[in-house]
């Protein structure tokens, strides 16, 4: 049984990113539902389904020794009584690197359970870099 209770999807998401930054596998897995229907897709990685596959992937990532700083931006939230969907950009800085990596477009889906909100899906994809907007030119009219 899970020890932590997350009263809102935002609390669960905050715990998820805190666990990612601190490299804490147990806290990371507290966020996830203990269910064989959970799904995780890391940027460029395969679709992982079920608690054991998701846990194994986070064990590998968090055990790498790299420490990350994650800043969330461009958040869009869709929520209902039982589900919440958060679409975010993860801006990740790896400790020891001077420049942030390209943002990751992530979707986090949470389910309301008897023990609070739990993550049931995390899907991350590389986001294209934001290009500076080009000046708008007046159309050329030929007569």
Reported as a single tens digit per residue, the pLDDT across 90-122 is: 999 998 888 878 899 999 999 999 999 999 999
Q: Please give the tally of structural domains in the chain.
A: 1
| 93 inside domain | yes
CATH of the domain at 85: 3.10.450.50
**What six digits make up the tokens of 13?**
């998401």
Q: Which residues, in sequence order, are bridge partners of residue 118? A: 111
Q: Is residue 115 part of a domain?
A: yes
Domain-embedded: residue 81? yes
131 or 125: which carries more pLDDT confidence?
A: 125
Report yes or no on 64 lying in a domain.
yes
Range of the domain at 38: 9-126
pTM for the predicted model, two decimal places: 0.86
pLDDT band for position 20 (cuts 50, 70, 90) = very high
Q: Is 38 inside any structural domain?
A: yes
Q: Where are the beta strands (DSSP E) in the chain?
A: 39-41, 47-49, 68-79, 83-94, 104-113, 116-126
The percent of residues above 90 in pLDDT, for the chain, comes to: 76
pLDDT in tens, 39-62: 999 999 999 999 999 999 999 999
Beta bridge partners of 48: 40
Within-domain flag for 50: yes
Q: What is the pLDDT of residue 1?
A: 58
Cα four-point dihedral sign 10, 15, 20, 25: negative
Which residues, 6 or more positions from 56, have their beta carbon under 8 angstroms from its beta carbon? 48
**Residue 142, domain member (yes or no):** no
């Amino acid at each position: 049984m899970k020890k932590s209770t997350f009263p809102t999807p935002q609390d669960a998401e905050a715990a998820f990113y805190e666990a990612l930054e601190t490299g804490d596998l147990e806290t990371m897995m507290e966020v996830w539902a203990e269910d064989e229907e959970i799904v995780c897709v890391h940027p460029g990685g395969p679709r992982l389904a079920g608690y054991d596959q998701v846990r194994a992937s986070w064990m590998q990532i968090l055990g790498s020794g790299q420490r990350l700083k994650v800043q969330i931006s461009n958040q869009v939230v869709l929520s209902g009584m039982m589900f919440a969907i958060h679409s975010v950009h993860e801006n990740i800085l790896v400790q020891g690197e001077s420049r942030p990596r390209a943002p990751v477009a992530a979707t986090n889906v949470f389910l309301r359970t008897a023990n609070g909100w739990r993550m049931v899906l995390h899907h991350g994809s590389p986001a294209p870099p934001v290009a500076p907007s080009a000046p708008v030119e007046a159309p050329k009219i030929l007569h």
